[in-house]
Amino acid sequence: MQVFSPAQCFGYVAFVLGTTAFLQKKDKRLKFFNGVQSIAYAIHFAMLGVPPASTSSAISSVRSLLSIKFRSPWLAAFFISLNVAFGLAIAKHPSGWIPIVGTSVATYAVFCLKGIPMRVGFFIGTVCWLTNNILSGSIGGTALELVIGSANLSTMARLILDLKKQNRERIAPPPEVELEA
């Protein structure tokens, strides 16, 4: 396996874009960077000769970019169906279904969830993609999923802390005001 082959270099580009995506606290920015990262991933897996992962990544790109403007269970169902249909046509081994499952879970998350629940769905997808990348020999992809899994967990923790802080501020008694006599 060549560390700096053109295929692996696209994986490294996906690594940078994916890491950037999952450090975002704003859902729209996460979706945008995730969509762009998925384009690099699609090229990466096509060059590695892993059609199910390449196709799932291409579908993910369109899905993520559309989800910036639209939230719809119907779009989720469409993209999940599209992903499964391509999986039926392309996946030759059970391992080919791993990225399809990961993409399907993330598709539901991106169209039907927001905030922390959306990121939990992405984390489940990350575990699937990590497994796929190890099996595929994807260096950048493996590094990407390890880092974005960590970044995603970190961002979820920051969001939880933000919520706790907002709740404390909302229920805190008002500061005492001294009245002049």
pLDDT digit string (tens) for 39-61?
A: 999 999 999 999 988 999 999 99
Radius of gyration of the chain (CA): 19
Q: Are the C-beta atoms of 73 and 26 separated by less than 8 Å?
A: no
Sign of CA dihedral 81, 127, 148, 24: positive
Which of 93, 159, 172 is closest to 122 using CA atoms? 159
Cα separations in angstroms, 90 against 21, 116, 131: 28, 33, 18
Neighbours of 60 (CB within 10 A): 27
Kindly report the average pLDDT of the chain as a whole number. Answer: 90
- Each residue's pLDDT tens digit, 111-139: 999 889 999 999 999 999 999 999 988 88
Looking at residue 177, what is its pLDDT? 59
- 153-171: b (≥16 Cβ within 10 Å) or e: eebbeeeeeeeeeeeeeee
Q: In the chain, which residues have pLDDT < 50?
A: none
Looking at residue 4, what is its pLDDT? 86
For 164, phi then psi, to 5°, come to: -65, -40
Q: With a threshold of 0.75, does the pTM exceed it?
A: yes
For 92, phi then psi, to 5°, come to: -100, -20
